[in-house]
Amino acid sequence: MSRAARKALARLPGTGRVALGVVVFLWIVAAISPLFSDRARDIRLEERLLPPSATHPFGTDDLGRDLLARVIAATPTSLAIGLTAAAVSLGVGFTLGGVAGYVGGWTDLVLSRVIEVVLCFPVIFLLLALAAFLPPSPATVILAIGLTTWPGDARYARAEVLRARELDYTRAARAAGASTSRILVRHLLPNVLPPLLVSAAFGVAWAILAEAALSFLGVGLPPPAASWGGILSAAPAYIAEGWWIALFPGLALFLTVAAYNLLAEGLRAAATERREQP
């Protein structure tokens, strides 16, 4: 581990380190998930709706598939979609917000009005509209989430760029005749990067939750793709006789979203501590 990485880890509070450990564990589970893919697809109707046991620790679903294997097999899909959708949202939001904050003037006015207009629409309705009109696929889910959640990132980026643009050394570089690209790379980006990481962690948590909601409502990933939301979509019909179908995928979803949110809070605290240091 590099010295910079050790210093960054040392600034994380205790809850942030625990959350980081949970996130790392989840990605390890995602890496080994191919070992469980065959078992997750193995339909055995004679074993349908079996409660948790030593043979099936999470029980079985309505088709007799091992629920533990299905939850593990769905882990990389949910994590990858959350990470990619958050990256799309950050890319669009920080580009538009950064341009608005750095250029200012009419550019800032127009882009700010566009951001505010998009923010007026409820995100869940935009998500459902995009997911319903586009062909079902992982790319559709990623685009639907990324293209409906970027305004929050854009407002955040605009505020951070406006703050960093007025710092003393940024003004000094501009007065010394430094090029725009040099100011952006050497002065603005290092100041905007920590908040960007915080926003990215929050964005991943929201994107994972949004993907689960879309899949639960039947407009997310098409079968046979596995996701936690897709597993949960079958739970209401069997909640009385198969409560475990809702419990374990729900716990996986809760644990993941909570870990990313706590990691984001830890990164925010670390970034605030670093900013306040002389």
**Nearest Cα to Cα of residue 96 among 146, 169, 36, 42:** 146
Side-chain half-sphere CA neighbours of 51 within 13 A? 4
Q: What are the Cα distances from residue 46, in Å, to 49, 52, 72, 223?
A: 9, 16, 22, 22
Q: Which domain holds residue 220?
A: 3-276
Q: What is the pLDDT of residues 105-137, one digit of tens each?
A: 888 889 888 888 888 877 777 777 777 777 777
Query: What tokens appear for 193 in the block?
Result: 């990067």
Q: What is the pLDDT of residues 145-179, one digit of tens each?
A: 888 888 888 888 888 888 877 777 677 777 777 66
Q: Is 66 helix (H, G, I), strand (E, B) or coil?
A: strand
Q: What is the pLDDT of residues 196-224, one digit of tens each?
A: 778 888 888 888 888 888 888 777 777 66
The average pLDDT across 225-236 equals 82
Q: For a pLDDT cut of 90, what percent of the chain falls above it? A: 12
Please state the domain count of the chain. Answer: 1
User: What is the dihedral angle through the alpha carbons of 32, 34, 40, 41, rounded to the nearest 10 degrees?
Assistant: 180
Query: What tokens appear for 173 in the block?
Result: 């570089």
Q: What are the Cα distances from residue 87, in Å, to 42, 71, 156, 186, 200?
A: 34, 24, 15, 22, 7
pLDDT of 188 reads 73
CB of 226 within 8 A of CB of 74? yes
CB of 244 within 8 A of CB of 238? no
CA distance 204 to 83: 5
CA distance 15 to 7: 17
Does the pLDDT at position 229 exceed 70?
Answer: yes
Does the pLDDT at position 31 exceed 90?
Answer: yes
The average pLDDT across 29-50 equals 88
pTM for the whole thing?
A: 0.82
Lowest mean pLDDT among 188-197, 210-219, 243-252, 268-277: 268-277
CATH number at residue 108: 1.10.3720.10
DSSP alpha helix (H) spans, 104-137: 105-119, 123-133
Does the pLDDT at position 277 exceed 60?
Answer: no
Q: Which residue bears the tokens 């409820």? A: 122
Question: Does 251 or 239 have the greater pLDDT score?
Answer: 251
Does the pLDDT at position 278 exceed 70?
Answer: no
Model confidence at 38, pLDDT cuts 50, 70, 90, reads confident
What's the full length of the chain, in residues?
278
